[in-house]
Amino acid sequence: MAAFENLKPDTAPSIFDSLQSLSLKREPRKAPLGVLIIDRLEKTPTED
């Protein structure tokens, strides 16, 4: 990855371009995905 050290984020190659340069193909698929939704957090006071 030394070749990309001096690149700015807007000039760095995208992940898709990088995959294509490695002759890798991406295929869209639908798959189940686990999701965790946190509705609210409260800070509980603790004794120091």
Residue type, 43: K
> Two tokens at 14?
């995208």
| pLDDT score at 36 | 94
- d(CA 36, CA 29) in angstroms, rounded, equals 21
- Amino acid 5: pLDDT: 66
Distance, in Å, from the CA atom of 6 to the CA atom of 3, rounded to the nearest integer, reads 7
Residue 8: per-residue pLDDT? 67
CA–CA gap between residue 1 and residue 45 (Å, rounded): 45
What pLDDT digit, counting tens, does each position of 2-46 carry?
565 666 667 777 888 888 888 888 888 999 999 999 999 888 888
- Residue that the structure tokens 């294509």 belong to: 20
pTM over 0.75? The answer is: no
Q: How many CB atoms lie within 10 A of CB 20?
A: 13
